[in-house]
Amino acid sequence: MRTFVSRVLDLVLRRSREQRMEAEIKAHLDLLADEYVAKGLPRHDAEFAARKAFGGVDQLKERYRDRRGFPMITEFVQDIRYAFRLMARERWFTTVTVVALALGIGATTTMVTILYCMNVRGLPFDDAASLVGVTGEPTRAQGPQIPLAIFEHWQSTTRSFEGLSAEIGAPINLGDETRGTDQFAGIYLSSSGFALLRERPVIGRDFLPEDDRAGAAPVAIVGYRVWTERYGSDPSIVGRTVRLNGEAATIIGVMPEGFAYPVDSQIWRPLASFPAIQQAAQRPIRVVGRLAHGVSAEQAQSELGALLSTLTTVPEADRTRRTIVVPLTSPIWAR
């Protein structure tokens, strides 16, 4: 106990105790040297002899320090100081390390946020449980996606769904007369796409079936972020003509704050305005649907499969391809 108290005191009085040790060793060496001088050695030789008789001064100091205070704590503090000094000296290395850590933490946070939203919190849509993704057995040409021709057939014949919507993701450059051009993640989707999610613009109007036809006047709906950040929440944005990928189009609405379907999109356009979509019956698209009341994903899957098998206008391989209907809320790793 006494020893413990003494060591705690040492921790506080580190500097003065260090000085005491220095003084004590010096006194000893002086006394010893005096004795050698008295025996007739020259002063310089006497000091040397004294040091020799005394033994290693530095080892002694080490042993002394080990006995005083708590070496673990003292050494830990020393290590930390040393680390900071090194960091200050190796500026570039430190900078690179900090940047790498920042990027790593950022990327991880983003992934966790996305996975959390999709898998834990559930989708932020009304009655998200009835939302399903419709995919096909993956093929080399289509991946898990569905050719446009098959989607159109399903859309006009199915009874299992309240609605089916097709979508293609592509970046869209937004420019106008007064501001520079910005690129946003964009989605080309069926005119019923927002209605199917039960979302509607906060200002302006939703897409109409007429907007999603070949030759229709080009229109777009933008995200809340685009509206507030690029247009300063100017309500006259509705009806404004902008350039989308270099072509004139009219903004007809702004989606609610936080809406970025499917992940981080900020511009939505009718599927028909996707370049050359009319000539591409085989164009792979993503299909999302809302199940009709009381219909399960399995039932919808067999109905779509049956509808597909009777479609004679598509290649044999497409006709026999397995169709898969999965709730959008089911965790990705369960698919």
Partner 1 sequence: MLPINMNQLNAEVPYGTLDLMVLKTLAALGPLHGYGVARRIEQVAAGSLALNQGTIYPALLRLEQKGWIKSGWGTSENNRRARFYSITATGKRRLAAEADSWARTVALVNRLLAAD
The footprint of partner 1 (CB under 8 A) covers 2-3, 6-7, 20-21, 23-25, 27-28, 30-32, 34, 53-57, 59-60, 63-64, 67-68
Residue 17 vs 225, nearer CB to partner 1:
17
Residue-wise DSSP of 194-228 = HHHHT---SEE----GGGGSTTPPPEEEE-HHIII
The answer, yes or no, to whether the previous bond of 262 is cis (omega within 30 of 0) is yes
Residue 6 vs 233, nearer CB to partner 1:
6
Q: How far from 204 is each of 7, 38, 108, 163, 192, CA to CA, in Å?
A: 76, 107, 37, 23, 16
Q: How far is the CB of 48 from partner 1 (least distance, A)?
A: 14
Enter the DSSP assignment of 116: I
Bridge partners of 249, per DSSP, are 242
User: What Rg, from alpha-carbon coordinates, does the chain have?
Assistant: 38
Residue 2 vs 91, nearer CB to partner 1:
2
Place of tokens 């979302």: 199
| Alpha carbon distance 246, 15 (integer Å) | 73
- H helix intervals, the chain: 2-12, 14-38, 43-54, 57-67, 71-89, 91-115, 148-157, 193-197, 224-225, 231, 297-309, 316-319
Give every CB contact of residue 262 below 8 A, 6+ residues apart in sequence: 167, 169, 187
Q: How far is the CB of 114 from partner 1 (least distance, A)?
A: 60
Residue 56 vs 143, nearer CB to partner 1:
56
Q: How far is the CB of 42 from partner 1 (least distance, A)?
A: 18
Q: How far is the CB of 81 from partner 1 (least distance, A)?
A: 25
The length of the chain is 335
Other beta carbons within 10 angstroms of residue 313's beta carbon come to 10
- For residues 325 and 297, is the Cβ–Cβ distance under 8 A? yes
Q: How far is the CB of 41 from partner 1 (least distance, A)?
A: 16
Residue type, 264: D
Phi, psi of 113 (to 5 degrees): -60, -45
Q: How far is the CB of 12 from partner 1 (least distance, A)?
A: 15
Enter the DSSP assignment of 143: B
Residue 62 vs 257, nearer CB to partner 1:
62
CA 226 to the chain's CA centroid: 20
Give every CB contact of residue 226 below 8 A, 6+ residues apart in sequence: 174, 184, 254, 266, 267
Residue 27 vs 83, nearer CB to partner 1:
27
Residue 57 vs 118, nearer CB to partner 1:
57
Q: How far is the CB of 44 from partner 1 (least distance, A)?
A: 18
Q: How far is the CB of 68 from partner 1 (least distance, A)?
A: 7
Q: How far is the CB of 6 from partner 1 (least distance, A)?
A: 4
Residue 23 vs 202, nearer CB to partner 1:
23
Residue 31 vs 83, nearer CB to partner 1:
31
